[in-house]
Structure 1
């Protein structure tokens, strides 16, 4: 029986296991999907050694960058982005190799185009972790200018405290790549001046559990259009499936 899984910590919010188990039923195949909920990524080699017939696994917060050190090979796009969310297990006799890919960029880009249509507003990317790198790559491909927003000051990015009314009016697309608002901490949200949002704004939250985050609610109250990360999850999951099974 083939095994697949997801690496991250924590994983209580993740829909991946349910998604793939439903897929196994739909395809009428015998397979299992495991949650590799590791408090330290240093436990990954032992986990992989103990998991028989593993064909591939997803990678989520906070390990999309840290997992790279354990890979034997990395797809050029994932290397360019500096983040991996899908790992393919390649077996050749007694030899096992891990190859990393980034399918987040595909999932984000396709779902974003559906959300914003022909609009190409300047964007703020909230957070600077692994997911934000795929978002930045997707925006670049679409010709959308962006700036990162972080809690700490760095060159060529804003801090939350620097977000003035003028900045908010100039950047009409806001993408939350932070885990703020994720179940069970769904009473949290990025520290934005929400009063400066308008019906011209698009708020895209990579969080998909809950379906409507506090970030989205606050935006909707100002008339902004909102979108969660569930469609992105589905799109990248299907790409992962293709990679793991080389369809």
Structure 2
């Protein structure tokens, strides 16, 4: 008789495009873990209902992607100190009857950056941006920008309180561009359309051989990446970050070293 598999997954909006099931299911099979990993996509007004449903299904763990990394905190029983500080969770593990949240985003991101950049531009102030800030290399200087929306002031206060860094208006980014050697888009701009948080003219102001990372990943390059490449800059999407944080999530759930080479092969081939 088949033993029922333990359930894992990813929640987000969107989530059905996620490559996480490909790599996590392959990793579980490779490690002889009796589990399956699914994508759960639902609109923000359904979050409470869907989390309740997942609890009823006795889900053993799940990843959290945009736009729920902050909101998920309201539905957890425990949050590790760093995730609580960031107000951002991307990995949840069930221990007994408790949902326990942590974040593997920041560490996962920096594991994908080969050189230690000196001057970094980080665009965005949500969960992923905060995680990237929290794990930045010691000698790296980060300037963080976001569009001046209705949430700008509250985010600015939180960033200042957490990291003693001023959140700057994206409209004032010009003086930071020439000296940047790493530029990161940690917003969801361009996830579902051809918009870009920076213009072609912005990228043309970069004078150093900077590297550009858009943490969004999709089959076709985002406009952000295309603009960067047209300006002669190296650029990549968030696939390497997805793999690295996913491997760390795997290790949180199963206390086993993740088969990261296999996970990489599953999402890049």
Smaller-chain TM-score bracket: 0.7 to 0.9
| CA distance in structure 1 between the partners assigned to 2:109 and 2:25 by the alignment | 23
**How many pairs align?**
234
- Is 2:57 aligned against 1:51? yes
Deviating above 6 A after TM superposition, structure 1's stretches of 4 or more consecutive aligned residues are none
Match of 1:84 in 2: 89
Match of 1:144 in 2: 140
Q: 1:181 aligns with which of 187, 190, 199?
A: 190
Aligned to 1:197, the other structure's residue is in SS state coil
Match of 2:169 in 1: 159
Between 1:187-196 and 1:81-90, the stretch displaced more is 187-196
Q: Note the 1:199-210 alignment, pairs <5 A.
A: 199-210=208-219
**TM-score of the superposed pair, with normalisation by structure 1:** 0.86
Q: 1:11 aligns with which of 15, 39, 46?
A: 15
Let me know the Cα RMSD of the aligned residues. 2.0
| CA distance in structure 2 between the partners assigned to 1:39 and 1:9 by the alignment | 6
Change in 2 beyond 3 A, CA 1:244/1:61 = same
Deviations 1:109-163 (A, max 9, x none): 1112x2xx14x32211111111111111122x43312122111164522323222
Q: CA deviation at 1:28?
A: 4.5
Match of 1:101 in 2: 102
Between 1:100-109 and 1:18-27, the stretch displaced more is 18-27
| CA distance in structure 2 between the partners assigned to 1:158 and 1:210 by the alignment | 31
| CA distance in structure 1 between the partners assigned to 2:18 and 2:56 by the alignment | 22
| CA distance in structure 2 between the partners assigned to 1:84 and 1:58 by the alignment | 8
Match of 1:63 in 2: 68
Q: Which runs of 5+ in 2 are unaligned?
A: 157-165, 257-269
| CA distance in structure 2 between the partners assigned to 1:171 and 1:82 by the alignment | 28
Between 1:124-133 and 1:193-202, the stretch displaced more is 193-202
Q: Is the 8 A contact 1:204 1:228 kept in 2?
A: yes
| CA distance in structure 2 between the partners assigned to 1:122 and 1:205 by the alignment | 17
Aligned to 2:62, the other structure's residue is in SS state strand
Q: Which runs of 5+ in 1 are unaligned?
A: none
Deviations 1:1-26 (A, max 9, x none): 11101111111331112221222343
Q: Is the 8 A contact 2:179 2:206 kept in 1?
A: no
Deviations 1:184-218 (A, max 9, x none): 42x22113422212452221111121363221221
Q: Is the 8 A contact 1:198 1:223 kept in 2?
A: no
Between 1:6-15 and 1:66-75, the stretch displaced more is 6-15
Aligned to 1:146, the other structure's residue is in SS state strand
| CA distance in structure 1 between the partners assigned to 2:218 and 2:92 by the alignment | 23
**TM-score of the superposed pair, with normalisation by structure 2:** 0.80
Q: CA deviation at 1:32?
A: 1.7
Match of 1:191 in 2: 198
- Is 2:238 aligned against 1:238? no
